[in-house]
Amino acid sequence: MLIYIAGTHSSKPVRHIQITKDKAHEENSKKVQAAIIALTKKGHIPLVPYPTLQQFKGTDKVVETLLKETRNSWLKNCDAVYFVQPTIDEEAESERLYAIDKGIPIYYNINAIPDSNAPKLSTDAFKAYLVEYEQCMQNYRHTFATIWQAGALFAAISAGIIAFASSSPIGHTSSGLSPLILVLVPIPIIFWYLGIYRPMNRYCEQDNDRLVQIEEFLSSIIPGLDMRHMRVLSSSRKGETFAKRLLSFKWLFKPRVVEIVSIFGIIIIIIEIYLIWVYYLSHWL
């Protein structure tokens, strides 16, 4: 969390003796330094505006108004406020009231501030995650492109078998294509479905899951980052189970690619089994 350290300018009323004022300022500085160290160890980012703003204090009313607006702007963007000591002056009380108005949590005890559970991520680690994300995304696209290119190739092989058999006396009879050709035609498509589509589609799903993990991880530890491309795509594809889609007939009215290809592949396999049975196996029984 980004924590605003407030009350840094508060000090108990003392006589205008320079030694006493210097001692109070030194004690206050020690409290601020201790708070910075403690918050950093807890995994938070401390913000101390007082040293920057204090040097302009008392210069001009307009400047002081601008400084107050600047202080409030910083305070508004913080996740919490920590007072190093009680609000005993007007400025510290102004900070407290502004935090209450904006709903910003206020802490007076450093031990009451919870430790940050967010893992630390170095710049090199962040770059490595981005490289992995880009490579997974490229692999995801290239794998799908390879699947359909291979599908077109094996479909062309099946069509070539039919074309060759139709123009050859070996594969063509007076009653049509020979039984051997009928059995051979579906084999390239079945090989593509079982040997290429299914395993490579599984690889794509693994890439999809890893991309979702990277988006969730980076979005959780980097403020303001919201990577959602693969998370939205994955939830839209995996939000419903196959059983639910089967019972609601969504596989028919709102089909997915994997469902259409799987149905097509199963039909081709059934046809192939039927042809082998009719032309070869049934005669042996």
Checking if the pLDDT of 192 tops 90, the result is yes
- Statement to judge: residues 153 and 40 lie in one domain: no
Checking if the pLDDT of 14 tops 80, the result is no
Residue 117 in domain:
no
Mean pLDDT (whole number) for 18-42 = 73
- Statement to judge: residues 260 and 199 lie in one domain: yes
Residue 131 in domain:
yes
- Statement to judge: residues 89 and 178 lie in one domain: no
- Statement to judge: residues 40 and 140 lie in one domain: no
Checking if the pLDDT of 61 tops 60, the result is yes
- Statement to judge: residues 216 and 275 lie in one domain: yes
Q: Which of 112, 133, 164 is the last residue of a domain?
A: 112
Question: Which of 14-28, 53-67, 78-92, 138-152 shows the highest mean pLDDT?
Answer: 138-152
118 pLDDT band (50/70/90 cuts)?
A: low
- Statement to judge: residues 30 and 100 lie in one domain: yes
- Statement to judge: residues 85 and 14 lie in one domain: yes
Q: Which of 112, 135, 165 is the last residue of a domain?
A: 112
pLDDT at 56: 54
Residue 200 in domain:
yes
pLDDT higher at 246 or 204: 204
Please report, rounded to a whole number, the percentage of residues in the chain having pLDDT higher than 90. Answer: 29
Count structural domains, the chain. Answer: 2
Q: How far apart are CA 206 and CA 229, in angstroms?
A: 16
Residue 163 in domain:
yes
Residue 187 in domain:
yes
Checking if the pLDDT of 58 tops 60, the result is no
- Which residue type, as a one-letter code, is found at position 36? I
Q: Which of 66, 84, 112 is the last residue of a domain?
A: 112
pLDDT at 8: 63
User: Where residue 67 sits, what CATH number does that domain have?
Assistant: 3.40.50
pLDDT at 210: 93
- Statement to judge: residues 195 and 64 lie in one domain: no
CA torsion angle for 9, 14, 16, 21 (degrees, to 10)? -50
| pLDDT tens per residue across span 232-245 | 888 877 767 767 77
Q: How far apart are CA 133 and CA 12, in angstroms?
A: 55
- Statement to judge: residues 28 and 153 lie in one domain: no
In this predicted structure, which of 87-101, 142-156, 264-278 has the lowest mean pLDDT? 87-101
| pLDDT tens per residue across span 172-185 | 666 667 888 889 99
Residue 118 in domain:
no
- Statement to judge: residues 95 and 135 lie in one domain: no
Q: Assign 3-class secondary structure to 168-187.
A: CCCCEECCEECHHHHHHCCH
- Statement to judge: residues 169 and 49 lie in one domain: no
Residue 128 near residue 188, CB atoms below 8 Å: no
**Residue 193 CB-density burial (10 A; 0-12 exposed, 13-18 middle, 19+ buried):** buried
pLDDT at 59: 60
Residue 259 in domain:
yes
158 pLDDT band (50/70/90 cuts)?
A: very high
- Statement to judge: residues 31 and 156 lie in one domain: no
Q: CB 215: neighbour CB atoms within 10 A? A: 21
Mean pLDDT (whole number) for 274-281 = 90
Residue 172 in domain:
yes
Residue 85 near residue 8, CB atoms below 8 Å: no
Name every residue whose Cβ is closer than 8 Å to that of residue 187 and which is 6 or more positions away in sequence. 158, 272
Q: Containing domain of residue 78, as a range? A: 2-112
pLDDT at 164: 84
In this predicted structure, which of 7-21, 196-210, 253-267 has the lowest mean pLDDT? 7-21
